[in-house]
A and B are shown apart, each in its own frame.
Chain A
Amino acid sequence: MSKWQQQIRTWISRYFDLPSDVMLDLPRITTIGSIHVYIENHTGLLHFSDEEVRIQYKKGQVRILGKDLGVKMMLKEELLLEGELKSVEFLPDSKGG
């Protein structure tokens, strides 16, 4: 059922040329060089420290590694990080699904 729904969504976003983050409930991550990360459409902040920030989204987690990380601004579905960015990793929920 959900798989079918997923396929329909993908198809609609392709067909109507809609931004995929809106249709698919995926986070949109914008980085400015390696100093700022702007994350929209996330569902939760899981962990945050100077070196690592983990964010929950619909189908998994995003892990951002860096140095001297700090949250410049945090709203309901938006997050602006600043610091020295090293990597952005996606950890999809393979078990949950």
Chain B
Amino acid sequence: MKNQHDFFQGIMTVQVEGPLIEPFLQACTKRGCQITNMRRLDDSLVILTIRLKDWKILRQLRKKYRCKISIKGGKGLPFLVQHMIGRLSVLLAFIAAVVIIFVLANTLWSIKVDGLSPELEADVESKLNSYGVSPGKLTIGMKDPIEIQQQLLEDIPDLLWIGVKKQGTSYQLYGVEKTRYDTEMDTRPSNLVAAKKGMIIETFIKKGRPMVSVYDVVQKGQILATGQLVEDEDLFIHSEGEVIAETWYRVAQNLPMKQVLSLTDGSVESEYQLKFGKFAIPVWGFWRGEEGDFREESHTSDWRIFGFQIPVNLKTVDYYSIDRKSYESSRKNLEKIGISSARSNLHQELEPDAEIKDEKVLHLSEENGKVKLILLYKVYENIAVTKYVSQGD
């Protein structure tokens, strides 16, 4: 009578002791018990196997027949479960393992963005972050890839198309950037005016009527080309063009003769502190005294678990010992330095297509341990800017 049914229901081996065993068993079977594998061990001792659910009946009847019953063992699923519960730690470990595997399998581990420029990629990533899609988050409750795709397309106008694919524990995005063409032609009537004072070197007016010629010196705001094609007429067009002019820049530099430099000599000593909120406990290296000159650099670790910052941090303080050295430069040397730095400063200020044609030292003097340097630069650059003409009034 060994079958699956018995396994799931559970069977148990019971020892029955008493003078009235047979009537007891008879009464039990009348109530629906199923007794199997009965063996007599002694005159008043019998071992038998019953189903788990029959145990109640046996217990109800044992008083009446003055029998002692004791359980010798059990088999089947209910006993296995009980056994497992008995070993709570095993059960807990099992559940924990299942939960951990489940959580890890449902965590987003990486996001990969392909086919986009770095700026747009960063934009996409920050947008994803704002949707709650970032590495370390659970994917349960996250939006569908299709939904994310639509939202990204809505929120980032520079995206022509983006494919969002969930692959296991990572998101793979492939984007196509919109190539922007200024399709709408500017047709508003406008003039070209000078952005700054300069001498015209070259004019190239695509549209409009030129008002200046080469070697004219123009002031800031002077009209270089007008959209009014015919004088004293109402027809105004959009004027376009480039006017390269020679412009002048004055750059003043003040350079100290004596410079003190702090140099680290490479030796570093570290101190470690364990931080609980604002409270810090020195762990290692706290005996490092403050001897001599040193530069202090400290950084605090940013430990996170599942995106949550934990309140415990490790603070590392590095002490770099430094050497102060003073340098005295010669006037000649300083002039060179001043000129090169002035040049590079000017380059940063100017448009990328501007050209520095000439440089001239106007003034070079030395006073109070400082070198004063005034330089003049001659630059060829486009000075034309569009200025719209208001019409109708």
Q: Which residues of A contact B (CB under 8 A)?
A: 44-50, 70-76
Contacts and interface: CB of A to CB of B under 8 A. Distances in A.
Interface residues of B, number: 16
B187 interface: no
Contact of A48 (B1, B22, B32, B37): B22
A49 B40 CA distance: 6
A68 to B, nearest CB: 9
A74 B38 CA distance: 8
Contacts of A50: 40
B33 to A, nearest CB: 8
A3 B179 CA distance: 113
A47 B34 contact: no
- Classify the secondary structure of B's interface with A: mixed
- Classify the secondary structure of A's interface with B: strand
A75 B36 CA distance: 9
A45 B40 contact: no
Nearest to B41: A50
Contacts of B32: 76
B39 interface: yes
B219 interface: no
Contacts of B22: 44-48
B126 interface: no
Contacts of A72: 36-38
B357 interface: no
B309 interface: no
A73 B26 CA distance: 13
Contacts of A44: 22-23, 26
Contacts of A45: 22, 25-26
A66 to B, nearest CB: 13
Contacts of A47: 22
Contact of B39 (A46, A70, A76): A70
Contacts of B337: none
Interface centre among A47, A49, A76, by most B CB within 10 Å? A76
B30 A74 contact: no
B34 A75 contact: yes
A67 B26 CA distance: 23
A73 B48 CA distance: 9
A24 B34 CA distance: 26
B9 interface: no
A72 B30 CA distance: 17
Contacts of B23: 44
